[in-house]
Amino acid sequence: MIEWNNEVNSMRVLVIEDSFEVQETMRHFLSKSGFAVDCADNGEDGIELATVTEYDVILLDLNLPDIDGFEVCEQLRDAGIDTPIIMVTARSEVADRTYGLNVGADDYLVKPFSMEELVARIRAILRRVRNRAEANIVLGDMEILPDLVQVVVAGVDFPLTPKEYEILYYLALESPKVCSLEAIIEHVWDDSGNPFSNAARVHVMNLRNKLNAASASVQLKTVKGKGYALCIV
């Protein structure tokens, strides 16, 4: 079932959650916090909404009645939808968190959680991906366009998840300096609470693999015991 909110001037959040009670709790608190909230109680409806409506962030449960949240996330990313996704789930295993980040989620919040923390994480993501006016950064055949939150490699659009983009942007600003994992976490995760270090490593690994697959002249190198750096090869 799909539930629409007709507000037009608010930040818009899509909640994909099969529990009506959890849906209503999120809707109530997020609405009080200034967000317009649409809801879907299954994966197919969630994908439909995310495809036809522009959202600022998607809150995605994993245990959905038709297809699980991992599959929803994969389908959205495969369709070119780069809206930030926060997985909200009772699954707390590191393997689930890692898999969720690997298929394109930007954050992973384990139930039960406080609504205040959820709102803080949403706002932190929105701060990082919107309203940028910095100068473009050029490294080798790669150009980062902060005002568009876009990366181009050899003249071709280079799609990244919001978290991968933030890591790349930070490393590009610091290049060729080596940045520690702790520094990356501090700058990329803002004040929403540091992730477990393995989550940050997964995002770095995914970014490196994408740069390698694109045969970019800029590569993400690991400096043992120190951190990571962008280097022109």
Q: Where are the domains of the chain?
A: 2-129, 137-232
3-state secondary structure of 47: helix
Sign of the Cα pseudo-torsion (35, 38, 39, 40, in order): negative
Which CATH number is 137-232 given?
1.10.10.10
pLDDT at residue 190 in the model:
52
- Calpha distance 167→207 (Å, rounded): 8
Low-confidence ranges of the chain (pLDDT < 50): 6-9, 131-133, 191-193
pLDDT in tens, 167-194: 999 999 888 899 999 888 878 875 444 5
Per-residue DSSP letters for 70-88?
A: HHHHHHHHHTT----EEEE
What separation, in Å, do the N-terminal and C-terminal C-alpha atoms of the chain show? Answer: 51
- Calpha distance 94→97 (Å, rounded): 5
Cβ distance 206 to 162 under 8 Å? no
pLDDT at residue 7 in the model:
42
pLDDT at residue 6 in the model:
47
- Calpha distance 21→162 (Å, rounded): 29
pLDDT in tens, 187-218: 887 544 455 578 889 999 999 999 999 999 99
2-129 shares its CATH topology with 137-232:
no
- Which CATH code, of 3.40.50.2300, 3.40.1710.10, 3.30.420.40, 1.20.210.10, is assigned to 2-129? 3.40.50.2300
pLDDT at residue 142 in the model:
95
- Calpha distance 194→4 (Å, rounded): 33
Peptide bond into 112 cis (omega under 30): yes
Q: What are phi and psi of 111, to 5 degrees?
A: -75, 145
pLDDT at residue 196 in the model:
59
pLDDT at residue 192 in the model:
46
Name the pairing type of β-strands 2-3 and 35-40.
Answer: antiparallel
pLDDT at residue 92 in the model:
87
pLDDT at residue 211 in the model:
95
Structure tokens at 144: 């980062």
pLDDT at residue 124 in the model:
84
Total-model pTM: 0.59
pLDDT at residue 183 in the model:
86
pLDDT at residue 10 in the model:
59
pLDDT at residue 18 in the model:
92
> Residue holding tokens 């529990």?
19
